[in-house]
Amino acid sequence: MINLLEKLMLTQGVSGREENICRAIENEIKPFADEIRVDKIGNLIAHKKGSGKKILIYTNMDEIGFFVNYIEENGLIRVCSTRGLNYDAAIYSEVVSENGVCGILIPESASEKPSYENVFIDIGAKSKEEAEKQVKLMDSFTCVPKLKKLGSEKYMGRPLNNRVGCLALIEAIKNIKNNENDLYFAFTTHAQAENYGSKTAVYSVDPDIVISVSIARKENSRVKLGDGACIKIKDARSACSVSVIDMLRNLASENNIKFQYEVDESSGYDLSLVRSVAHGAEIGAISIPCENSHTTAEVVCMNDVENVIKLIEVLK
Amino acid sequence: MKRLLKRLTGAFGPTGNEKRVADVIADRLGKENVFYDKMGNLVARISNEGKPKLVLSAHMDEVGFMVTEITDNGLIGFDAVGGFDPLVLLAKRVISERGVIGAIISKPIHLMSEDEKKTRTEIEDMYIDIGAKDRTDAENLVSLGDYFCFYSDFVEFGDGFIKAKAIDDRGGCAILCSVYDKLKDKASELDYDLYFAFTVREETGKSGVNYISERYRPDYAIVVEGTTANDLYSTPEHKKIARTGHGPAMSFMDGATIYDRSFIRDIMSRCDTLGIKYQIKGFTFAGTDAASYQRGADGARVAIFSLPVRYIHSQASVVKLEDIESTERAIIAAVSKKENR
Amino acid sequence: MEKIKELLKGLTDIIAVSGTEKNAHADVIALCDGIFDETYTDKVGNLIMVKRSNKPNAPRLMLDAHLDEIGFCVTEILDGGFLRVSALGGINIRILPSSEVTVCGKQKIYGVFTSVPPHLSRGKSQKGVPELNDLLIDTGCSKSELEKIVSVGDRAVCKGELFEMANDYVVSKSLDDRACACAIIDASKNADKDKLEFDLYVVLSAHEETGNMLARVAAYDIDPDIAIITDVNFARANGLKKRETIECEKGPSVDISSSSDRALSRRILEIARLYKLDCQTIVEVSSTGTNNERIMLSKEGVRTAVMSIPLKFMHSYSEMVNLKDIATLSDILLAIAYTPKEEL
Between A15, A80, A200, which is nearest B295 by CB? Answer: A200
Q: Which of B230, B254, B295, B301 to mutate to test the interface with A (most CBs of A within 10 A)?
A: B295
Q: Is C258 helix (H, G, I), strand (E, B) or coil?
A: coil
Enter the pTM of the model: 0.84
Domain with CATH 3.40.630.10 in chain A: 2-63+159-313
Q: How confident is the model at residue B152 (pLDDT cuts 50, 70, 90)?
A: confident
* DSSP states of chain A: -HHHHHHHHHS--BTT--HHHHHHHHHHHGGG-SEEEE-TTS-EEEEE--SS-EEEEEEE--B--EEEEEE-TTS-EEEEE-TT--HHHHTT-EEEETT--EEEEEES-TTS-SSGGGEEEE-S-SSHHHHHTT--TT-EEEEPPEEEEETTTEEEEE-HHHHHHHHHHHHHHHH--S-SSEEEEEEE--GGGT--HHHHHHHHH--SEEEEEEEEETTTS---TTS-EEEEEE-SS-BPPHHHHHHHHHHHHHTT--EEEEE-SS---HHHHHTTSTT--EEEEEEEEEBSTTSS-EEEEHHHHHHHHHHHHTT-
pLDDT at residue C123 in the model:
46
Strands C226-234 and C60-66: parallel
Q: How many angstroms separate the CA atoms of C298 and C301, rounded?
A: 5
Query: Which class is C71-158 in CATH?
Result: mainly beta
The predicted-structure confidence for A155-202, as pLDDT tens digits, reads as follows 999 999 999 999 999 999 999 999 999 999 999 998 877 778 899 999
> Measured between beta carbons, which residues in chain A are less than 8 angstroms from residue B253?
16, 67, 80, 193
Phi, psi of A186 (to 5 degrees): -120, 135
Neighbours of A139 (CB within 10 A): 19
Chains that touch C (3 or more CB pairs under 8 A): A, B
> Measured between beta carbons, which residues in chain B are less than 8 angstroms from residue A204?
298-299
Taking the Cβ of residue B267 and every Cβ of chain A, the question of whether any pair is shorter than 8 Å is answered with no
Comparison of pLDDT for C281 and B114, the residue scoring more:
C281
Residue of chain C whose alpha carbon sits nearest to that of A260: C152
Chain centroid to CA A173: 17
Tell me: pLDDT of B341 over 70. Answer: no
> How near does any CA of chain A get to the CA of C73, in Å?
9
Neighbours of C26 (CB within 10 A): 12
pLDDT at residue B296 in the model:
83
The predicted-structure confidence for C296-320, as pLDDT tens digits, reads as follows 888 888 899 999 999 988 888 888 8
Comparison of pLDDT for C123 and B257, the residue scoring more:
B257
- B66, C283: Cβ pair inside 8 Å? yes
The predicted-structure confidence for C32-75, as pLDDT tens digits, reads as follows 988 999 999 998 899 999 999 999 999 999 999 999 999 999 99
> How near does any CA of chain C get to the CA of B159, in Å?
38
> Measured between beta carbons, which residues in chain B are less than 8 angstroms from residue A80?
253, 282-283
Q: How confident is the model at residue B109 (pLDDT cuts 50, 70, 90)?
A: low
Tell me: pLDDT of B58 over 60. Answer: yes
Q: What is the ipTM of this complex?
A: 0.80
- The CATH number of the structural domain formed by A2-63+159-313 is 3.40.630.10
Domain with CATH 2.40.30.40 in chain C: 71-158
- A233, C217: Cβ pair inside 8 Å? no
The predicted-structure confidence for B70-79, as pLDDT tens digits, reads as follows 988 888 999 9
Q: A66-143, superfamily in CATH?
A: Peptidase M42, domain 2 (2.40.30.40)
pLDDT at residue B292 in the model:
87
Residue of chain A whose alpha carbon sits nearest to that of C294: A276
Q: How many angstroms separate the CA atoms of C201 and C218, rounded?
A: 10
Phi, psi of C72 (to 5 degrees): -140, 165
Where do the domains of chain B lie, and which CATH numbers do they carry? 2-62+165-340 (3.40.630.10), 64-150 (2.40.30.40)
Q: How confident is the model at residue B166 (pLDDT cuts 50, 70, 90)?
A: very high
Percent of chain B with pLDDT over 70: 95
Q: How far is CA A275 from CA A38, A45, B34, B207, B301, in A?
A: 22, 18, 35, 20, 23
The predicted-structure confidence for B303-338, as pLDDT tens digits, reads as follows 999 999 888 888 888 899 999 999 999 999 999 987
- B206, C287: Cβ pair inside 8 Å? yes
Domain with CATH 3.40.630.10 in chain C: 2-69+173-343
Q: Which of B206, B207, B211 to mutate to test the interface with C (most CBs of C within 10 A)?
A: B206
Percent of chain C with pLDDT over 70: 95
> How near does any CA of chain B get to the CA of C231, in Å?
19
The CATH T-level fold of domain C2-69+173-343 is Aminopeptidase (3.40.630)
The predicted-structure confidence for C86-143, as pLDDT tens digits, reads as follows 999 888 887 888 788 999 999 999 998 886 555 544 444 444 567 787 788 988 888 8
> Measured between beta carbons, which residues in chain A are less than 8 angstroms from residue B282?
69-70, 78, 80
Taking the Cβ of residue B287 and every Cβ of chain A, the question of whether any pair is shorter than 8 Å is answered with no
Cross-strand pairs, B162: B156, B319
Nearest-5° Cα angle at B95, B91 to B98: 155
Tell me: pLDDT of B233 over 70. Answer: no
Domain with CATH 2.40.30.40 in chain A: 66-143
The predicted-structure confidence for A121-148, as pLDDT tens digits, reads as follows 999 999 999 999 999 988 999 999 999 9
Between A72, A195, A199, which is nearest B257 by CB? Answer: A195
The predicted-structure confidence for B264-277, as pLDDT tens digits, reads as follows 999 999 999 999 99
Average pLDDT over residues C232-251: 85
Percent of chain C with pLDDT over 90: 63
Cross-strand pairs, A66: A81, A141
pLDDT at residue C238 in the model:
67
> Measured between beta carbons, which residues in chain C are less than 8 angstroms from residue A263?
75, 86
**Contact criterion met (CB below 8 Å) for A63 and A142:** yes
The predicted-structure confidence for C169-212, as pLDDT tens digits, reads as follows 999 999 999 999 999 999 999 999 999 999 999 999 998 888 87
Lowest mean pLDDT segment, chosen from B238-242, C148-152, C330-334: B238-242
